[in-house]
Structure 1
Amino acid sequence: MNAVPVPVSHVVKGETVLGAGPEFGPPHARFTTPPLALDRLVWPRQEPLPALDVPLSEVMDLLVETGEWITKDPQGLMAEALEFSVRTSPLPRSVLERSYRDLGRQFNRRSMEFQVEHELGGPDVVDGWREITDAPSGRRSRIRAFPPRLLHIVAGNAPGVSAMSVVRGALTKGVNLLKLPSNDLFTATAILRAMAAVAPGHPVTRSFSAVYWRGGDERVEGALLRPQYFDKLVAWGGEGALRSAQKYVGPGLELVAFDPKTSISLIGREAFVSEDTLREVAELAATDVTLMNQQACASSRFQFVEGTVTEVDRYCALLQERLGVERQHSSAAGAPVPPGLRDEIDGLRALEPLYRVWGGYRGEGVVIRSDEPVDFHPDGRIVNVVPVRELSDGVRYANVATQTVGVYPSARKAEVRDALAGAGVQRVVELSGAGRVEAGLPHDGFRPLQRFVRWVNDEG
């Protein structure tokens, strides 16, 4: 029997839109959305941007209040969004509950000030025109990080992505249309409804809309993805979503892409100094593997460990035990391994001792030890461990699709970070630090706020 469709609300320029229109989703997770009025989803260029002249300090005040409102949830909007998310998200309830509990913390003033200072050089260039007096020509000029028109294709693998998108969009003082992802239909709208409750009709509130359409719908995307409406397309997601978005990119419409990534770990021989140390390292590594049940780009999928096969096998056994532990951003068990991956892993089990496999298929986690990385994508609490003689041997498996590399011990990051950066890696962290993303530092190799704004010169 098909499930009763879940009602999805839209937010259009700060106003909540309800109503059952089109129906989407698989039989077990159907949902309905209000009909789209495309002309209401754009901000005409002939009209001034709503938040253009709002001081950044006031924007931050509003965001801080919104975060506090989200945490207190006086109207139950966040609780409702959580319950609906449980019915449509691939993440288990326990992970969603903890993620929602943390959403308000992203609206932190100190963090926002850090982002503006380190990504844009300070608030003055957002609030007005910064005077430039030291040009080689001797001419005086002025520059401004001008508020942009952004269309966000939001990723749904973690609720925090929606909060991050709203904060970044507000700090750049532009207008923002968020396309809701099918695997997180409720977080962005709940945040924007919270903002509207805090400051109804405020210019920042009116600068946001969030709606759903099926990705690749040319009727919608062909109408909206035009330079007369938007300056930049901020796209998260998989290769299919990005390829679909790229066909609309051209003069006047720039792509800011948070590309699909994978992440790895490099573990030094120091892990084997004692059994207690090895257990500790296995726990640190498991934390990175199970991040958002391995749905995050920063989740480790391949690990390269300095040691003999016998030593690495001891590590693999301990690692598999730790994959089934409940953590802040993971549940004790994930979804069962799908049949295709089971077939791949069963084939490797038959090749022992060349390969060795720990764990089962019910979601408790699987560890595969091999001499070379496996040629399939480990997913759903599956990790491939490869013994290496030196950490540098693991570096050669990093490439431009590698986002985060966790290193143990932390002191050895310095010996591999240049080589990792040269291979295309964007982020090097201590083991277990993959999920501790610091807003304001580069993300995927660039500074998002700097890319979001339009840099405009007034010369002479």
Structure 2
Amino acid sequence: MQHYELPLIAAGRLIEAADGGERYVFYNDDVEFAIPRLDDLSFQAIRDADGIPLRNCSVNDIIGFLSRIGKLWRDDDYPLRRLLLDLGPKATGESVDTYRHSLDLFIGLISTKAYLGDIIDAELRNRLYLDEWVPYHNVYLRAEPLGRLLHIIVGNVPVASVYSLVRGILTKNVNIAKLPSRDVVTLSLFARSFFDLAPEHPITKTTSVVYWDRNEDQWIDRFMDIAHGLCIWGGEKSVEIYKSKARIGVEVIEYGPKLGAQIIRWNEADAGNLPIRVAHDIAVFDQEACFCPQIIYLEGNIDSFIEALSEALERYTKIWPKGQYEVDHYAHMNYVKLAHLYKGGDVRACERLSWLIVKLPVGHDIALEHPLGRTIYVRPVHDVRECVQFLDCRNQTVGVDPIEVGHELKDALAERGVQRISNIGYVDIPRLGLGHDGKYLDRLVRWAALERERDFNCKIYDVPYEEKLHNTLVAD
């Protein structure tokens, strides 16, 4: 069995487990991963990390740092990249091709300075708010970091951990990331690369990557006590636990469990590459991501659509092979398959259960727990407008095709609570201006305002009290 020791990262310090020291140990695919246990000294170093040097860094400096990190990871010969592409799929169960795709997609984005700057401008209106006091109506406005930002990371989508950390860095926060047991590798090695680039940089000095077990309340409570902001990724239970422990005044940004769906007006003659685009959105992350579709609402000939989608999903087993799953997963898929066959349903499946399509009868909805792993339900509708009633705030992303369907339904979907209406085939490539789960960078900062002098182009409103007070104060 391959053994690999991961460091604990405590505010710019790499802490290796001493010989015989206490470790957390994880086993995945014949690989043993170990990470040192937290102790009082590590916690004190994290608690005492000085955020002032990072606050005083310019946005351009921060963007430059992240861009150089991205360029390191784009180099096929970079040792940590080679190591992560070896260990990452083993830790997560994803296929090597799927893991490499998601890693390269995100690394490609953060290595682009213009993209990082545009994210800040799109989500904070102006990147200068992070560097200086900017005139804004009757005040000067500045965006200050929250302080210590605690990230509770989930393991189903490996790059989500990097995404969360990068956004914390862009807003100049002191970042503490708690690794998930399902993937202790991805974020650990990504943060480890900061030391290869600039070990003394304020970003390196204010980044911590740690782990604790879910039953270690002493560490949960201690870190919750020092956090000024909280990014929670995970299932309902995890979100509830950490939200319940948040102190008053702590900004809580939750990325809880969500579902994806698609709405399609199918015309086989004009379909083009739609089936392969649908298959892409199903196959990416093996549906583990909250934006991946679990059900398709289809207006049109459902049988011809299912035939085309079957061929496309089979093609994707060669483009991105399905990840490794326990026997229980395939038992779950097989149960769903047999249950719908027993009820007289129409089911298509790969012999290896690399994918599964379930045609729902008219008027029926998903009645069984969704097994994911490229399982898709297709529900016929006479008109796409019928499907709105089945969608709500649990549906983070709804893919539409043709795009005119999105324009037709945008108001109804937004009223129901849908956060994102996307182009099918690009679900893993969010467009600039989109906030994941409807949450933008302004949640990661606090706003400070300096009022302008009242005689400097100040707006005086026709309010009797304000006018009377103004006249009194300026009188000789």
Match in the other structure for 1:222: 221
- Supply the distance in 2 between the matched residues of 1:446 and 1:100 (Cα, whole angstroms): 22
**Is 1:280 aligned to 2:273, yes or no?**
yes
Match in the other structure for 2:58: 55
**Is 1:356 aligned to 2:357, yes or no?**
no
Written as runs of structure 1 = structure 2, the 5 A alignment for 1:113-124 is 113-124=117-128
Q: Is the CA contact 1:264–1:406 (under 8 Å) kept in the aligned structure 2?
A: yes
Q: SS of the counterpart of 2:166? A: helix
Gaps of 5+ in 1: 136-140
- Supply the distance in 2 between the matched residues of 1:72 and 1:46 (Cα, whole angstroms): 31
Q: Is the CA contact 2:28–2:90 (under 8 Å) kept in the aligned structure 1?
A: no
* Shift, 1:39, TM fit: 4.9
- Supply the distance in 2 between the matched residues of 1:255 and 1:343 (Cα, whole angstroms): 38
Q: Is the CA contact 2:251–2:443 (under 8 Å) kept in the aligned structure 1?
A: no
Match in the other structure for 2:305: 315
Match in the other structure for 2:355: 365
* Shift, 1:436, TM fit: 1.4
Match in the other structure for 2:98: 95
**Is 1:205 aligned to 2:204, yes or no?**
yes
* Shift, 1:331, TM fit: 2.3
Change (3 A) 1:402 1:99: same
- Supply the distance in 1 between the matched residues of 2:105 and 2:348 (Cα, whole angstroms): 33
Q: SS of the counterpart of 1:325? A: helix
Q: Given the two structures, how large is their TM-score scaled by the length of structure 1?
A: 0.89
Change (3 A) 1:111 1:215: farther
Change (3 A) 1:255 1:328: farther
Match in the other structure for 1:300: 293
Q: SS of the counterpart of 2:273? A: helix
- Supply the distance in 1 between the matched residues of 2:192 and 2:46 (Cα, whole angstroms): 19
- Supply the distance in 2 between the matched residues of 1:27 and 1:298 (Cα, whole angstroms): 26
Work out which of the residue numbers 1, 4, 15 in structure 2 matches 1:17: 15
Match in the other structure for 1:260: 257
Q: Is the CA contact 2:142–2:449 (under 8 Å) kept in the aligned structure 1?
A: yes
- Supply the distance in 1 between the matched residues of 2:83 and 2:396 (Cα, whole angstroms): 34
Q: Is the CA contact 1:334–1:380 (under 8 Å) kept in the aligned structure 2?
A: no
Listed one character per residue, the Cα deviations across residues 143-188 of structure 1 (whole Å, up to 9, x for unaligned) are 2211122001123223322332232122111100011122222221
- Supply the distance in 1 between the matched residues of 2:318 and 2:442 (Cα, whole angstroms): 31
- Supply the distance in 2 between the matched residues of 1:75 and 1:113 (Cα, whole angstroms): 26
Match in the other structure for 1:36: 38
- Supply the distance in 1 between the matched residues of 2:425 and 2:403 (Cα, whole angstroms): 10
Work out which of the residue numbers 416, 434, 446 in structure 1 matches 2:427: 434
Q: SS of the counterpart of 1:225? A: helix
* Shift, 1:441, TM fit: 2.2
Letter matched to residue 7 of structure 1: E
Q: Is the CA contact 1:305–1:312 (under 8 Å) kept in the aligned structure 2?
A: yes
Listed one character per residue, the Cα deviations across residues 82-108 of structure 1 (whole Å, up to 9, x for unaligned) are 222232212122212333334421312
* Shift, 1:74, TM fit: 5.4
Written as runs of structure 1 = structure 2, the 5 A alignment for 1:165-176 is 165-176=164-175
Q: Is the CA contact 1:303–1:384 (under 8 Å) kept in the aligned structure 2?
A: yes
* Shift, 1:419, TM fit: 0.7
Q: Is the CA contact 1:279–1:318 (under 8 Å) kept in the aligned structure 2?
A: no
Listed one character per residue, the Cα deviations across residues 92-140 of structure 1 (whole Å, up to 9, x for unaligned) are 22212333334421312111111111111212211122233x34xxxxx
**RMSD of aligned alpha carbons:** 2.4
Q: Is the CA contact 1:304–1:388 (under 8 Å) kept in the aligned structure 2?
A: yes
Q: Is the CA contact 1:38–1:224 (under 8 Å) kept in the aligned structure 2?
A: no
Q: SS of the counterpart of 1:302? A: strand
Letter matched to residue 398 of structure 2: V
* Shift, 1:312, TM fit: 0.6
Gaps of 5+ in 2: 453-476
Q: SS of the counterpart of 1:384? A: strand
Q: Is the CA contact 1:11–1:17 (under 8 Å) kept in the aligned structure 2?
A: yes
Written as runs of structure 1 = structure 2, the 5 A alignment for 1:25-174 is 25=26, 30-41=32-43, 44=47, 47-72=50-75, 75-107=78-110, 108-132=112-136, 134-135=137-138, 141-148=139-146, 149-174=148-173
Letter matched to residue 263 of structure 1: G
Letter matched to residue 34 of structure 2: T
Q: Is the CA contact 1:23–1:30 (under 8 Å) kept in the aligned structure 2?
A: no
* Shift, 1:454, TM fit: 1.7
**Is 1:238 aligned to 2:231, yes or no?**
no
**Is 1:375 aligned to 2:375, yes or no?**
no
Q: Is the CA contact 1:398–1:423 (under 8 Å) kept in the aligned structure 2?
A: yes
Letter matched to residue 22 of structure 1: R
Change (3 A) 1:435 1:104: closer
Which of the two has higher C-alpha Rg?
2
- Supply the distance in 2 between the matched residues of 1:170 and 1:74 (Cα, whole angstroms): 26
Q: Which has the higher helix share?
A: 2
Size of the aligned set, in residue pairs, is 440
Using the aligned pairs only, state the percent identity: 25
Letter matched to residue 382 of structure 1: T
* Worse overlay, 323-332 or 242-251: 323-332
Letter matched to residue 202 of structure 2: P
Q: Is the CA contact 2:51–2:206 (under 8 Å) kept in the aligned structure 1?
A: no
- Supply the distance in 2 between the matched residues of 1:39 and 1:439 (Cα, whole angstroms): 41
- Supply the distance in 1 between the matched residues of 2:127 and 2:402 (Cα, whole angstroms): 38
Match in the other structure for 2:468: none
Listed one character per residue, the Cα deviations across residues 378-411 of structure 1 (whole Å, up to 9, x for unaligned) are 4111000000011111111111110111111112
* Worse overlay, 240-249 or 78-87: 78-87
Listed one character per residue, the Cα deviations across residues 46-81 of structure 1 (whole Å, up to 9, x for unaligned) are 955330111111111111111111112655012112
- Supply the distance in 2 between the matched residues of 1:80 and 1:434 (Cα, whole angstroms): 28
Q: Given the two structures, how large is their TM-score scaled by the length of structure 2?
A: 0.86
* Shift, 1:189, TM fit: 2.1
Letter matched to residue 188 of structure 2: T
